[in-house]
Structure formats: C-alpha cells, structure tokens
Amino acid sequence: MNAAMPILLLLCPLIPALVIFFLREENDRLRTVINLGSALVKLLLIAWTLEGVARGVEFEYRLEFVPGLYLLLRVDALSLLFITLSSFLWLITTIYAIAYFRGSENLSRFFGFFNLCVFATTGIALSGSLITFFLFYELLTLSTWPLVVHKGDDKSIAAGRTYLIYTMAGSAALLLGIVWLEGMTGPIEFAGEPELDELSRLSLTVIFALCIGGLGVKGAMFPFHGWLPQAMAAPAPVSALLHAVAVVKAGAFGIVRFIYDVYGIDRVAELSLGLPLAIVASFTIIYGSLRALQQTDIKRRLAFSTVSQVSYIALGASLAGPFATIGGLVHLVHQGLMKITLFFAAGALAERRGITSIDQMEGAGRHMPLTMLAFSIGALGMIGIPPVAGFVTKWYLGVGSLQGGYTWVLIVLAGSSLLNAAYFLPLLYRAWFMEPAARPAGEAPGEGPAGLILPAVVTALASLAVGLFAGFALSPLGWATLIVEEQYTP
C-alpha cells in the first residue's frame, strides 16, 4: 500500500483525463460524475496519507525508466501541503467550471486537459528527485496551454503564445541548471543530502540563478511575470487554476523545494544567495501592487495582485529562519484560497451581470450579496486584515524577517498592505456603499446557480477558517510548522 499510494494519487486525475478525452461532447452527466468522483476519491486518499505521514509512515515509489535514472515519487509533509491544497481546490474548481461552462462547447477537451493539468501538479508535488520534478513541470506547461487558448479567439491565442514562449524559455533555463548540476553530482534526490562541495562557488551561483530564474517564470516573479496578466483572456475557471491551483503555485513550490531540499538553507546562506532573492521577491511584491493599482479591469488587477502575492512565498523561503519559512510555506495555501475566491467571484460577476471593469461595480453588493461577501473576505485577507488567512502569513513573515535581522522587509510588508488596501478597498466601496446603476433590460435576475456562487463562498469561509483556527494542529499553519520542525531544523 505504501508504495502504491503515490501511484494511486497520480491515477486519480490521470484516468478521468484519458476517459474524458474519448467521451462524447453531449455526455454531460457521465463527465460530471467522473470529474467529481475522482476528485472526491483523491481527497479521501489524501486524508489517509495525511494521517500516515503525521505518524511517520514513508510513502515511496521508484521506477527505473532509463538505466540509472529513476522516476521517484515520494510523499513528505511539504508535498502533502501542496497536494492537499491543489486537490481541495481542484474539487471546488470543477464544480465551478461545470456551472460556468453549462451549455458551451468543447467541454470534453477542456475537462480532459483540466484533469491532465491536475495530474501534472500532483506529480510535481510528489516528485522525489530533481529530474522527476522537471518531467512533471514540463507536462504542466503543455497541458495548460490548451486551457489558456480554450476560447479560441485572437486574444486567447496571443495569450497562449506568450505563455508558451515564457514558460518554455524558463524551462530551458531550468533544464540547463539541472543538467549542469547533475552532471557534476549525479542524480539528486530531495530526501538525501546532495554532495555539492565539488562545484565551485561560481558554478553554484550560476546554477542557482538559472534554476530559480527558470522556476520564477511560472512563479510570475519580476521580470518574468508578463505572461500572467495576458493569460487573463482565458475563462474564469482557468484563471483560478493558473493562479491558485496549479501553475503559479508550481513555480513557487519549485523554488521552495530547490532552496530547502537541493541546496539547503545553510548553503544558500553561505553563498549569500538568500539576500538577492529576497530583494527580487520584495521588488516583485511592490511592483505587482503598483501595477495592480493602475488596472481598471478587475481580472487584470487580480492578476497583478497574484504577481505580488506569490512572491511572499519566495520571500519567506529566501529569508530562511523558522518563522519566515513557515510564513512562506503557509502562504502557498493561504494565497491559493484567497485568490481563488476572488477569481470565482469575479467570474460570477462577469457571467451574471457583465461586470468586468471596476467602474461597473457600483451596487454589486445589493445584487449579488453572497458573491460580494466572498470577494470582500478574500480582499480583506489579501490586505492582511485579521482573522483572514493573509494576516497569519504577514505575522510570520514579519516576525521571521526581524529574527533574521532583515528589518527592511517590514517596510515591504507595510507597503504591500497599504497598496493592497488601495487597490481592493475601492472595489468594496463601490460594491457596498454606492447605489447600483439602473438595471439594463434583459439582465439575468438573481445571483445565479449554486454551482457558480457557492464555490466562492466555500473558499472564502475556508480562508477565514484557516486564519481563525490557525492554532489548530492540522491547520495550514500547524502543518507548515510541522514541516519546518521536522525537516529543516535539525
């Protein structure tokens, strides 16, 4: 069972992907059953694994696919953090997507690639070696592209092209770094301690820059974030997937893995690589917020907000020290919950009332109270208002940066909070405190089908709960603390 678990977790999204590709377009009901069923089964498997890992059971699977080259799947606390988040959000996003796309075309293609995407993400989380990680990372790039261009209009195609150029170039840099590194040391497994002493400082620094830079493309780190706002041409469920479940998260997760399990905190500190990364991440945080402030389109504003927020994860990883690490790790989950809430809500607003730009939001709170309530919780969380999730992140990053002696990071956190307030609160103000414009004729009455509205409510409540119950042992904070205690502080 212990060796089979990683395989089962991978099969959960893979089998539905293959089945759905061959499903006839009008076979709605079967497709829905398969989608939801496999997502639920996966969550059950994860619950089983969570309990096992907490007890110290090892789940590992090895497959030699080229002599001397292993495909290594391994479950550890860090991979579970990511996989739990992505699977939970996968289920919710599937429900949302089914409601969102009701009656539209090419759904078998969409859900097929959607599941493939989740398969790749699961693989990234479960990878136990650098080369396995890279394989799944590439698969993710390829399986996401059909989703980005799903609409098929010029804008989508252009966005898809940009996405491919950026991510392929990033992957090339990553591959170069990996080949260089493994060429000197042999295959690198995350669980072991790689022997990096043979490499010179110079090559270690360059490899670090290549790999982090390559991962930073998906992680939307400045200056490689350009693809993300463009990808807003994709439909709302895809945005949710890009921003919260899979792509951006995979980049950030990769950075965390690379720093902690390939180089190790000590070596990063010794090579003085943490500080430059922290500076780039901090710059991205402020830059993304400033750009968000300039946008008038809701989804574009949210996209730049992601650019800013995801860099919190890299910032936490680069500052080292237990508190900052916890802050970064826990933001992997927190940012996902809050941002997906915002995208679900934005999608519902656009779908039901045609609201896409900020000046159309007047009175949205009266027409769509549940949606706007969810949006408000997500936005307040992004600002860092307690007890929503973002506050927990900010608290740990703040204390962690001070413990590490980086007082200036506080200014970044404060600036980011204020900028977040500046670009989110005007939306809430318009929605709740301004009178709605007259309703144009032919507009859909009511808030909309449950499948479109409830996912946002659920994730909003989740982002409230993970902050409010942060002290609970199985909360993301509790789990991140466990990771840091068990793995990084001997």
Partner 1 sequence: MNAEALILLAPVVALPLLLSVLALSPIFNKRALDLLPVAPLPGLIAAFLVPAGTVLEAPALLFGLRLEMTGEGALFLGFASALWMAAGFFARAYMKGGRDLAVFCAFWCLTLAGNLTVFLAGDAATFYLAFTCVSLAAYPLVVHERNVRAMRAGLVYIVLALIGETLLLLGVLLAVAAADGILISDVRDALGASGDSLTIALLVAGFGIKAGMVPLHVWLPLAHPAAPTPASAVLSGAIVKAGIFGLIQFLPLGSDAGTWGQILMAIGIFGSWFGILVGLTQSNPKTVLAYSTVSQMGIVIAAIGGGLEVGAGAVAVAAATLYALHHGLAKGALFMGVGVMQKIGRKGSGYVTAALTLVALSVAGLPLLGGALAKLAIKPPLGGGVAELLVTASAAGTSLLLLRFLFLVQDLRSKSNSARPPLAMTLPFAAMGAGALVMPWLLFEDWSGQDLAYAFELGNLGTALWPLLAGGALAAVFVGFRPRRLPAVPEGDLVVPIEALARRGMAAWRRGAETLPHAAPEVRRPLLAAAGLWLGRVEGRLANWAVAGTLMVLLLLAMLLADRLLG
| Residues at the contact surface with partner 1, assessed by CB under 8 A | 162, 165-166, 169, 201-202, 205-206, 209, 213, 223-226, 271-273, 276, 280, 287, 290-291, 293-294, 380, 384-387, 391, 394-395, 398-399, 402-403, 410, 413-414, 417-418, 421, 425, 433, 467-472
Classify residue 101 as exposed, middle or buried by CB count within 10 Å of its CB (0-12, 13-18, 19+): middle
Of 108 and 141, nearer to partner 1 (C-beta) is 141
Cβ neighbors of 393 (< 8 A, separation 6 or more) are 312, 327, 330, 331, 334, 335, 384
Distance CA 190, CA 466 (A): 28
What is the nearest approach in angstroms of partner 1 to the Cβ of residue 9?
29
Residues paired with 60 in a beta bridge:
74
What is the nearest approach in angstroms of partner 1 to the Cβ of residue 209?
5
Question: What's at 357, amino acid-wise?
Answer: S
Of 235 and 384, nearer to partner 1 (C-beta) is 384
Token pair recorded at residue 115? 């599941």
What is the nearest approach in angstroms of partner 1 to the Cβ of residue 80?
20
Of 48 and 469, nearer to partner 1 (C-beta) is 469
**CA-CA-CA-CA torsion for 358, 360, 363, 366, nearest 10 degrees?**
-100
Of 65 and 429, nearer to partner 1 (C-beta) is 429
Of 244 and 380, nearer to partner 1 (C-beta) is 380
Of 52 and 426, nearer to partner 1 (C-beta) is 426
Residues paired with 281 in a beta bridge:
none
Token pair recorded at residue 416? 């980011």
Element (H, E) at 418: helix 408-433
What is the nearest approach in angstroms of partner 1 to the Cβ of residue 202?
7
What is the nearest approach in angstroms of partner 1 to the Cβ of residue 278?
12
Of 74 and 225, nearer to partner 1 (C-beta) is 225
Question: What's at 166, amino acid-wise?
Answer: Y
List helix spans (H) across 221-296.
227-230, 236-240, 247-257, 265-270, 274-294
What is the nearest approach in angstroms of partner 1 to the Cβ of residue 75?
26
Q: Are 358 and 288 in contact (CB under 8 A)?
A: no
Q: Are 365 and 372 in contact (CB under 8 A)?
A: yes
What is the nearest approach in angstroms of partner 1 to the Cβ of residue 330?
12
Of 47 and 411, nearer to partner 1 (C-beta) is 411
**In the 8-state DSSP scheme, what is residue 253?**
H
What is the nearest approach in angstroms of partner 1 to the Cβ of residue 356?
18
Longest Cα–Cα distance in the chain: 72
Token pair recorded at residue 456? 């946002």
The H helix count followed by the E strand count for the chain is 20, 2
Of 91 and 265, nearer to partner 1 (C-beta) is 265
What is the nearest approach in angstroms of partner 1 to the Cβ of residue 368?
16
Q: Are 138 and 170 in contact (CB under 8 A)?
A: no
Which of 42, 83, 57, 90 lies closest to 476 in space, CA to CA? 83
Of 131 and 211, nearer to partner 1 (C-beta) is 211
Of 20 and 338, nearer to partner 1 (C-beta) is 338
**In the 8-state DSSP scheme, what is residue 359?**
G
DSSP of 306-323: HHHHHHHHHHHHHH-SHH
Distance CA 168, CA 366 (A): 45
What is the nearest approach in angstroms of partner 1 to the Cβ of residue 377?
12
What is the nearest approach in angstroms of partner 1 to the Cβ of residue 403?
6
Q: Are 25 and 105 in contact (CB under 8 A)?
A: yes
Token pair recorded at residue 335? 């940012």
Task: Please name the residue that has the structure tokens 């490689």.
Answer: 224
Of 380 and 457, nearer to partner 1 (C-beta) is 380
31 three-class SS: helix
What is the nearest approach in angstroms of partner 1 to the Cβ of residue 267?
13
Cβ neighbors of 190 (< 8 A, separation 6 or more) are 74, 76, 127, 128, 129, 130, 257, 261, 262
